[in-house]
Structure 1
Amino acid sequence: MRRATRGYAALGLVLTLAVTAGCTSKAPTNEDAGDRNKDEFVIGYSQSNNAEPYRAQINLQLRYYMEKYPKLKLLPISDGQQSSATQLSQVQTFIEKGVDVLLVSPNEPDPLTPVVEMACEARIPVVLLDRSVNTDCHTSFIGGDNYEIGKKAGERAVRELPDGGRVAELRGVLSAKPQIERHKGFMDAIKGHDIKVVAQREAKWLRADATKVTQQWLQGGKKIDLIFSHNDPMALGAFLAAKSAGKAKKTKFLGIDGLAIPSGGIRAVQQGKLDATYLYPTGAKEAARTVADIVAGRKVPKKQTLETVEINSENAAEIYQKYDMSGKIE
């Protein structure tokens, strides 16, 4: 309880400071990264939750790609632990340290907006990675098109259930923008088809939570033909629950992320656990390049949308080979 109290106190402090500061509407640019002739530029990165496999891969890949630019010094990555109060306090610390560029993957948009605006007011260029906030006062956003990914998953559901069927949806953190957009895309795609969403629950991006939720559905007698999960760990959790109940062979499973790691979604497709997953690139390579461009004084795009593709049994091996970074990072 004491930890939660401190967290909310930090949240209140940041909100107060943000209001007092009165953030400017002009986002920091490459001109705000300090003296371009410096030998070293300090980069702070605030990650929303290191416990998620996707985010662990972002961290590993970001360290790898940052090392390609000798002038960039990436500070130890802060772990928000899926707590917005914790994360905004960590971001505030980066601002107080006066980092040259700030990278943020927000846990939730609303709570992190004020602290991003504080960085803006401090003229620190901010690169948002994977998730956005509710302000234009940032230098660049890098991420996938979550609505399009959800839509592709919905279109797959329609193909898998041509005569109609019952779908369950395992959603990420409900207030997170990727979850909101993936859900909307999926629902728009199945609209007008004889597909009924019979259950949907927040499973917070976590495999264990998804396993528990799916077990509850099946034990309660819920009849499900297809489970759409907002990431691969939840999809695999659902698969394990269905397998344990003897219902995996009669159920279709769709995920999102498509990590090229042994425990990731691509391997799960190859192993027949998932029917399909959708590539959601980490953006680490683009983030490192963007930061390098900022400190070098080069103009960077305000928005960088990363590609996606459906990964199925036909292309899984090819996609895995393309994105496999084993041997490069540990």
Structure 2
Amino acid sequence: MVKKAITIALCAVLAAACASKAPAPSAGADGGAKEKFVVGYSQSNNAEPYRAQLNLQLQHFLEKYPDIELLPIADARQSSATQVSQVQNFITQKVDALIVSPTEPAPLTAAVQQACDAKIPVIVLDRTVNTDCYTAFIGGDNVLIGKKAGEEAVRLLPDGGKIVELRGITSNQPQIDRDKGFREAIAANPKIEIIADREGKWLKEQATPIMQQWLAQHPQIDLVYAHNDPMALGAYLAAQAAGRADKIKFVGIDGLAIPDGGIRAVQLGQLSATFVYPTGAQEAADTVNKILHGQPVEKQQVLGTTQVTKDNAADLYKQFDLSGQS
């Protein structure tokens, strides 16, 4: 009888330990399963086409889960202070889950920790924070994407050349990683030189005047590497107006399947190449559903990339176009 009691107790302990690995589902007021889960999402900047598309995709993919309500998406507008306030507001509202795309990692770390301490599951989408106290991270490998962009630059400039680089926000981790990977890759050809780089804040309207200045300063620019497609297209417009677009290669990142996105720009010959940076929206929707229903999820979900070329652009547009129009 003693052995049997010990065995039963041991089984109970092991079962409890295993169950703790998966987030417990939220309960309703009567102790039963909740009829409706509420999710808050703080987006770093709705003005960026990539993030506007991410928002639309997240709403689209969450529609297949009728018991999950996504609150109006909070737009931080590139302000970490605003985003911290938004996250704290969601904590006060006692949302069942929180999704956050950090503007900057360090300022958002404490707020994500507060959500974690409040037992609110947190999905960190696209950009990291400086704490491990979250339920899942979903995002691309920006060093890898930067490296692939650099390898394409080496292919486009076999005899070497002069490159200008349009960065995102300098404190953003994706900007740091995309720069790092690119510079590592172009080191394969010592005749390739980055002659100028500037922060374009991820925005097309910021990139155009910067490129205008570079065109005035540098009689030779062979390639523009932009950390996202809007900046690459902003640079293209400046070069086109100056009559130099046909002498310069343009490489971007994002590869959105929207009329003014990178995939279409490659089809039109405006960009030499771009690289799909997955939004992670579908993965986020599926992950939050699993979390809210007590199912285990992968903590680190690193998404791959695809290079967009003229040969595959049409097929990729159809693959990623949620509107059903090509």
- Conserved? CA contact 1:28–1:124, under 8 Å: no
Deviation at 1:192, TM superposition (A): 3.6
Residues 225-275 of structure 1, C-alpha deviation per residue, up to 9 Å, x if partnerless?
000000000000000011111110000000000000111000000000000
SS at match of 1:178: helix
Deviation at 1:76, TM superposition (A): 0.4
Partner of 2:106: 110
Do structure 1's residue 82 and structure 2's residue 75 form an aligned pair? no
Q: Which residues in structure 2 correspond to 1:1-330 (within 5 Å)?
A: 30-31=23-24, 33-34=26-27, 37-193=33-189, 194-327=191-324
Partner of 2:3: none
SS at match of 1:256: coil
Rounded Cα–Cα distance in structure 2 between residues aligned with 1:251 and 1:288: 40
Where does structure 2 lack aligned partners over 5 or more consecutive residues? 1-19
Where does structure 1 lack aligned partners over 5 or more consecutive residues? 1-26
- Conserved? CA contact 1:255–1:265, under 8 Å: yes
Residue identity in the other structure for 2:39? I
- Conserved? CA contact 2:318–2:324, under 8 Å: no
* TM-score, with structure 1 as normaliser: 0.89
Rounded Cα–Cα distance in structure 2 between residues aligned with 1:90 and 1:29: 27
- Aligned Cα RMSD in Å? 1.5
Partner of 1:3: none
Sequence identity percentage: 60
Q: Rg bigger for which structure?
A: 2
Rounded Cα–Cα distance in structure 2 between residues aligned with 1:31 and 1:296: 7
* TM-score, with structure 2 as normaliser: 0.90
Deviation at 1:177, TM superposition (A): 0.8
- Conserved? CA contact 1:207–1:237, under 8 Å: yes
Residue identity in the other structure for 1:30? P
- Report the CA distance shift for 1:33/1:132 in structure 2 as closer, same or farther (over 3 A): farther
Rounded Cα–Cα distance in structure 2 between residues aligned with 1:323 and 1:72: 24
SS at match of 1:253: strand
- Conserved? CA contact 2:39–2:96, under 8 Å: yes
- Conserved? CA contact 1:33–1:125, under 8 Å: no
